Structure 1
């Protein structure tokens, strides 16, 4: 009897209450799609003070499981990543990667943003002996990858500055990064010229949806010896692919 009572104490402890609240928030937000859910809607569901719920939602946004837009919460890309094994990306998205890969005979990829990390969710590999083989379903740093640069460039300024203040503390480095991000916003294309892996180039462009943060990017990666001479043309091709997928995402 004593052992049973102790077990009940553990199950009702604060750690389990927190897990329950987190899962309730996730379930409620997912059920509210596509309209989203306001913070004010959550206290009645959780029987918890708004201050406690705000801390949990901030943590879920930081980890990529929720995203916040104009005071409403929506499902974040990290939830999508959890379901990848049973819910693959739309066939039209993968087809676009295959076309881009075949056009240049380099590896095409699609990445998503999850908190401070970039996750490759799908790839179409080149038919080359020496080729880029980026990992999928693994969290990677945003900087200096081309997809991560895209997410930083189109991130809201407060989140971007918070990331830079934590990850890039040298003032000169931050100024250089901010200047590059401004160029990416203007052109819609980000480059990684051997910054992550020597002699490996990457080009990426955002998939955009009006009124929502950029959480998907399409890119192409391959050896510098093959990509350098055609980098401008590759950039146009990647940007056009991203635009087609943006139009597809916006279609009713």
Structure 2
């Protein structure tokens, strides 16, 4: 299953499609075994083949349409623009995919964060304020399973996360964990039907986040109240 997921992600990231040999090389796997997996994905509509290059098929889109959902339905790009305008800081919408956090939308004048968002660069959940929000919203069995996969170098970070966990669960806010070398942040949970589905955060150097912490918390809490109204379904 891990190799199937890796094939789908590789193809999804390719703008022109991938050859079988290209996929096998990226996976460090024999062409013969890769061919078997690819054939099954083509047969079920997850991949499409044209002139010996493979691209993403229609099945992944269909599954989400059948489920009647988007990754996040309550927070719009205009909402991120509002937070960015009020905070003056990079603003991101994040989701968890497996053990990683991805920025799926953003508003920023900082090219570094634009690159991370536009290229869906994966980052560690345990190293960002948005990641702490998403971890706090996980089912406990999934949280324990994730924590067990982390290397020993993350153990101090894990202890700090668990110390902050009760407050994050109560407030839906994570402010200034200072666990990333890229910057620090304040993030708020985006909840739909009582479940945390994403995080909205503002990112800046640690000194800026520390100085503006209370104002940023209030700003994101205000936004979360308006988003939660949209998530209520009859």
- TM-score w.r.t. the length of structure 1 is 0.61
RMSD: 3.2
Q: 1:181 aligns with which of 160, 165, 175?
A: 165
**Structure 1 SS opposite 2:176:** strand
Q: Partners in 1 of 2:157 and 2:209 — Cα distance?
A: 27
Q: Deviations over 1:110-158 (max 9, x none)?
A: 11111111111111125xxx89736112111101201111000010000
In structure 1, the residue matched to 2:192 is 209
Q: Does 1:153 align with 2:144?
A: no
Q: Does 1:133 align with 2:113?
A: yes
Query: Do the aligned partners of residues 165 and 30 (structure 1) sit closer, same or farther apart at CA in structure 2, a change above 3 Å counting?
Result: same
In structure 2, the residue matched to 1:235 is 217
Aligned residue pairs total 185
Q: Partners in 2 of 1:30 and 1:230 — Cα distance?
A: 38
Query: Do the aligned partners of residues 76 and 167 (structure 1) sit closer, same or farther apart at CA in structure 2, a change above 3 Å counting?
Result: farther
Q: Deviations over 1:172-203 (max 9, x none)?
A: 764442222222111211123432026x3201
Instruction: Select the structure of larger CA radius of gyration.
Output: 1
Q: Which runs of 5+ in 1 are unaligned?
A: 1-9, 35-74, 81-88
The 5-angstrom pairing of residues 68-83 of structure 1 reads 77=71
Q: Does 1:15 align with 2:49?
A: no
**Native 8 Å contact 2:92 2:105 kept in 1:** yes
Q: Does 1:30 align with 2:64?
A: yes
**Native 8 Å contact 1:108 1:219 kept in 2:** yes
**Structure 2 SS opposite 1:184:** helix
Query: Do the aligned partners of residues 132 and 222 (structure 1) sit closer, same or farther apart at CA in structure 2, a change above 3 Å counting?
Result: farther
Q: Partners in 1 of 2:164 and 2:82 — Cα distance?
A: 29
Query: Do the aligned partners of residues 76 and 180 (structure 1) sit closer, same or farther apart at CA in structure 2, a change above 3 Å counting?
Result: farther
Q: Partners in 1 of 2:70 and 2:79 — Cα distance?
A: 23
Q: Does 1:121 align with 2:155?
A: no
**Native 8 Å contact 1:132 1:221 kept in 2:** no
In structure 2, the residue matched to 1:43 is none
